[in-house]
Amino acid sequence: MRRAMAAASMVVVLGLPAHAADVAAGKAKAELCVGCHGENGISQTENIPSLAGQQDQFIQWQLVFFRAGTRKNEAMKPIVEQLTNEDIRNLGAYFASLQPAKPPPDDDPDLSKKGAEAAAGRRCASCHLDSYAGTKGVARLAGQREEYLVKALHDYKSGQRVGGSQAAMTDVAYPLSAEEITALAHYLAHL
């Protein structure tokens, strides 16, 4: 039932042309997001993703999944419950318009090399692109918070994370060892 509601909401939210989004209205609504996701969408909080430069459709889909209860997060629940479809479109456009976080200097190039090998072996670029900037409904991974990427991969591996590309990501993450997850997250965070 929740999946059907999320799918129906997705048609309503994403069914309008992209020019229908209002970036300025998204910026105003994003004041709700600053406490966790940081100024200009760059998170300073452990295990909270940066949203700056994230793909518009990806942001919209995740907000719809949270609102429908398909993705569960107690901190997000009271926020998404008050979002309209228009708010969701505007937030997606706003965060997509921001400069992504600048990655930190790579303090462990050997770990990044192992991560690059894991990414190639799991064909991550086939969905997330060679730049790992994502596209449409596929998340930007380049420059994301490292510990958040570790958490997300473990959540996909365990089946704890649902919504969106769950099946594809579970297939990718399930066979990863803890060491591969650490290396992959390090590599992507430093791109």
- Asked if 115 and 187 count as a contact pair (C-beta separation under 8 A), the reply is yes
pLDDT band at 6 (very low <50, low <70, confident <90, very high): very low
Judge whether residue 167 has pLDDT over 90: no
What pLDDT, on the 0 to 100 scale, is given for residue 13? 52
Burial (CB count <10 Å: 0-12, 13-18, 19+), residue 117? middle
Report CA-CA distances (Å) from 74 to 5, 65, 82, 156, 185.
19, 13, 14, 18, 25
Token reading at 113? 């090399």
Tracing tokens 């991560």 back to the chain, one arrives at 115
Rg over CA atoms, the chain: 16
Q: Is the pTM of this model over 0.75?
A: yes
Judge whether residue 2 has pLDDT over 50: no
